[in-house]
Amino acid sequence: MMKRNCLTALLTLLTLTCVYGQTTMDSCECPRSPYAGMKADTTFHLANGKSIVLCSYENPGSSPATFSEFLLSVCGQDSIIGFWGAVLTCRLKVNKDTLLVDQLENLPTGKNFKFQEAVWTTEKIYFVGQQPVRQLSINRHIGKYTPDEIQVVLKNYETSKKGLDDSKLKIANELFIAAISGSKKARHYFKEFKNKFGTLDGVLAEEYNELAAMLALWDNKK
């Protein structure tokens, strides 16, 4: 950090805290756990005076910062609010007395089915008395397909040959978006996908299982 006089540094720190609700100062230590070290990466200051620490490191090169494999804890307490695993990519921000944890996913919702980053779920963390409460919601405004786009996805699935490769991974993602866009046929095709082209394994199996879990969450959170 460039050297500056004390008054300027203090004003800058206060501005950042008010605007973003967080600092990278070690306001509190992290609780002992098998998930992360004792040093907090970020402290989120809520409007009600509560503070939550994030224990881990931001993903290299991410801007704005994203995090994977991290835990959250209430400042001054040994208990853990929760742990978010390595397969998740999240962005966090403060809204008054609530910490928002956005889970990000790359999905084919762009033009010509281009993959782009989207907020899949948002978890609100707030306090009732001294106890933190977690409330998860799905982004119902995520990009959907038009009827014409759905027909393209269905045709791609129907005309694809046997065998597993990266193109099948793209089809699985497109069927998922078509399914949440309201296509019953796409939903049926998505469910039979796991047996359509061969036995799923490795990365393809992991991706399909994650999408299946997302579809189940979409249905259960209505």
Tell me the pLDDT band of 222, cut-offs 50, 70 and 90. Answer: low
Tell me the pLDDT band of 177, cut-offs 50, 70 and 90. Answer: very high
Question: Quick one: 106 and 212 in the same domain?
Answer: no
Place of tokens 């046997």: 162
Question: Quick one: 75 and 185 in the same domain?
Answer: no
Question: Quick one: 67 and 164 in the same domain?
Answer: no
| Residue pLDDT, tens place only, 83-94 | 999 999 999 999
Question: Quick one: 117 and 47 in the same domain?
Answer: yes
Question: Quick one: 123 and 192 in the same domain?
Answer: no
Mean pLDDT of 156-171: 92
- Residue 73: CB atoms within 10 A of its CB come to 25
Question: Quick one: 161 and 117 in the same domain?
Answer: no
| Residue pLDDT, tens place only, 52-78 | 999 998 999 999 999 999 999 999 888
In the predicted structure, residue 13 carries a pLDDT above the cut 90: no
Q: Is residue 213 part of a domain?
A: yes
Plot region of 58 (φ>0 → left; ψ -120 to 50 → alpha; else → beta):
beta
Under 8 Å between Cβ of 53 and 43:
yes
Question: Quick one: 70 and 134 in the same domain?
Answer: yes
Mean pLDDT of 80-85: 94
Q: Is residue 53 part of a domain?
A: yes
pLDDT value at position 27?
53
DSSP calls for 26-44: --SPPPP-SSS-SS-SEEE
Mean pLDDT of 20-38: 63
Residue 200, domain extent: 147-220
Question: Quick one: 91 and 184 in the same domain?
Answer: no
Count up the domains in the chain and report the number.
2
Please report, rounded to a whole number, the percentage of residues in the chain having pLDDT higher than 70: 86
Mean pLDDT of 199-206: 89
Q: Is residue 85 part of a domain?
A: yes
| Residue pLDDT, tens place only, 92-119 | 999 999 999 999 999 999 999 999 999 9
- Residue 107: CB atoms within 10 A of its CB come to 22
pLDDT value at position 152?
98
Question: Quick one: 110 and 156 in the same domain?
Answer: no
Question: Quick one: 153 and 206 in the same domain?
Answer: yes
